[in-house]
Amino acid sequence: MNELQELAGRLLAEGTVQVVIGWGEGPRGVRPAFVREPGEASRLIFDERCTQNLVAYLSPRRSHVARLGRPAVVVKGCDARAVAGLLREGQLRREEVVVIGVRCGGVLDDPAGEAPTTADRCLDCASREPKLADHLVGELPPPPAGTARREARLDELAARSDADRWAFWQEELGRCVRCQACRQACPLCFCERCVADKTEPQWIESSPHGRGNFAWHVTRALHLAGRCTDCGECQRACPLDIPLGLINLRLARVVAERFGYQAGDDPTVPAPIGAYRLDDPQEFIL
Ligand code: SF4
Ligand code: SF4
């Protein structure tokens, strides 16, 4: 990926940016790399192990990153949707960041795992070439082969009885240890103080047990409805492998059905949560 390294080196040498946030090799696999000198640009890589959504570092709650100066961030197509989300919601101004898009052939779900496979979201991806980019690098690889399984999983869950579905989620969410890794990895969880951390009043019990866990996950899911960009980071970050992506996908389906909206990479298209429409379906209001 010399093109990426050359571009990053040039942006740093010209002073266009003070840091390039990309991926680099680490002692335990690929990890985020913060390149601040042109001579270090050779550290940057891009391949199927680059799963991390680096847009999380542009979140306003990451003030330690902001202090590094104007950033360039390397994004895959799915990550670009998170840049659009931050712009759409007024958390970032376009001139504050240089976006370097990489043409993407898909990433692995768990690059450090014993038998990594292509991430499910990549198998039906329509945004392998990011549109929201100041620079685009790399050739477009062939699409990853395989059949997406998660839509079928969602359909299978939807077909179950309410009691079965309740039991499924009770078991899954009951395993949550409330480490908040899912929240930390999410580029669109940017509140300075999360409602889950508030204690006066305490809306959500913080200890890991069924009741608090349900309150946390329902709140998290609703806060991300119509905003989640399907980057998969929450589920990848979860140490318990809780299928958080299924919750996000279900809500994305509902938002698409009810509001005709999908979180895309055009920041000028308003999300339902921030738009008022006279024809909004509102039969749920009694
Ligand atoms: S969802 Fe698309 S853009 Fe994102 S990693 Fe997979 S193939 Fe690449
Ligand atoms: S990352 Fe997993 S275990 Fe941690 S709070 Fe989120 S769902 Fe719970």
- Whether residue 286 is predicted with pLDDT greater than 70 in this model: the reply is no
For residue range 215-255, what is the model confidence (pLDDT) as tens digits?
A: 999 999 999 999 999 999 999 999 999 999 999 999 999 99
Query: What radius of gyration, in Å, describes the C-alpha atoms of the chain?
Result: 19
Contacts of 140 (CB under 8 A, 6+ apart): 103, 105, 128, 129
Q: What is the pLDDT of residue 19?
A: 98
Instruction: Please indicate whether residue 224, judged by its CB atom, sits closer than 6 Å to ligand 2.
Output: no
Ligand 2 atom closest to Cα of 183? 6
Q: Is the pLDDT of residue 146 over 90?
A: no
Ligand 2 pocket test: pick from 169, 182, 236 the residue with the most ligand atoms within 8 Å of its Cβ.
182
CB contact set of 160 (below 8 Å; sequence gap of 6+): 168
- pTM of the entire predicted model: 0.92
Distance CA 144, CA 20 (A): 28
Instruction: Give the confidence band of 197 by pLDDT, cuts at 50, 70, 90.
Output: confident
Is a pLDDT exceeding 80 seen at residue 26? yes
Query: pLDDT tens digits, residue range 172-181?
Result: 999 999 999 9
Residue 89 has pLDDT above 80, yes or no: yes
Neighbours of 106 (CB within 10 A): 20
Nearest residue to 102 (alpha-carbon basis) of 137, 128, 133, 131: 137
**pLDDT band at 167; cut points 50, 70, 90:** very high
**What per-residue confidence (pLDDT) applies to 234?**
95
Nearest atom within ligand 2 for CA of residue 237: 1
How far is it, in rounded angstroms, from Cα 75 to Cα 79? 5
The Å distance, Cα 188 to ligand 1 centre, comes to 18
Measured between alpha carbons, how far is 271 from 110 in angstroms, rounded to an integer? 31
